[in-house]
Amino acid sequence: MWDQKEASEIIKDWNGVDQVLLRNPHGASAKISLHGGQVISWRNELGEELLFTSNKAIFKPPKSMRGGIQICYPQFGDCGSLDQHGFARNKIWVIDENPPPLNSNESLGKSFVDLLLKPSEDDLKQWPHSFEFRLRVSLAVDGDLTLTSRIRNINGKPFSFSFAYHTYLSVSDISEVRIEGLETLDYLDNLSQRQLLTEQGDAITFESEMDRTYLRSPKVVAVLDHERKRTYVIGKEGLPDTVVWNPWEKKSKTMADFGDEEYKSMLCVDGAAVERPITLKPGEEWTGRLILTAVKSSFCFDQLELQSKGF
């Protein structure tokens, strides 16, 4: 019998910051740092790491760690007055002992943790809006990883924000990877002053630096890693855009916390709300969800697999 007490454990990193380790009965696991509310590890039942973390990553607050799944809020990228990707990923979150209920299937048969972020006085000076940000990270029996963000406006006036789950996937060789599900979509090319273009390829493949925001993207896309025979199925709710990023060789050499050759073994595919910021009136709440699945793959996008996952 699986003891639910074995499903989660609080440990500390070498800076003394709490981390929550989630496990499922088959040996899959996820590790979440309270620094940034960041998922820093997701392993399948074989113990294989599915998320990329740079060997040069800096694990010291307030710097965010290069890799895993970063929470980009209340700003994605540099399209605003705040630092790159906002401040949520740099803050120490707390475990939320008594969160408002989520619907029952959010916890059924899953190990999970609820985290909470509220703005500090310093945060309010640079972004003067009061909010409660609740994040649930859950690991299912089949190894699926789900992140559910709930952001409530507890301010006296409306505010707007952009958002992304900045997700670093581990891949065997970026030149052997393709993304399916974004064909024919319009995208903003962030390497060309956010020029609006239309995807022409049958699938997205990689031969050079890429930084694109695909607009009004489907709820599910697939990342096929041919060499590893693995497919990542990325499901999302409340997140209309998909950001695709790989820094390639030249950009990699300019990043202090990223190895010169590491672009070959990573790919960011982010569920996001970027093009049209989300606006919350006082008392309103927004929910955005990311569901990650890793499956053995053939060379085509298996719709049956998606249907079995309920997409």
| Residue 3 reports pLDDT greater than 70 | no
- Higher pLDDT among residues 246 and 249, named by residue: 246
Q: Does domain 4-168+231-309 have CATH number 3.40.1030.10?
A: no
The confidence score (pLDDT) of residue 310 equals 56
- Higher pLDDT among residues 6 and 159, named by residue: 159
Structure tokens at 200: 């022409």
pLDDT band at 213 (very low <50, low <70, confident <90, very high): very high
Residues near 82 by beta carbon (within 8 Å), at least 6 away in sequence: 74, 75, 126, 127
Q: Is 195 annotated as a binding residue?
A: no
The confidence score (pLDDT) of residue 268 equals 97
| Residue 55 reports pLDDT greater than 80 | no
The confidence score (pLDDT) of residue 181 equals 96
The confidence score (pLDDT) of residue 252 equals 83
| Residue 308 reports pLDDT greater than 60 | no
| Residue 212 reports pLDDT greater than 60 | yes
What's the whole-number mean pLDDT along residues 66-75?
Answer: 93
| Residue 304 reports pLDDT greater than 50 | no
Q: Is 152 annotated as a binding residue?
A: no
CA distance 33 to 64: 11
Q: Is 70 annotated as a binding residue?
A: no
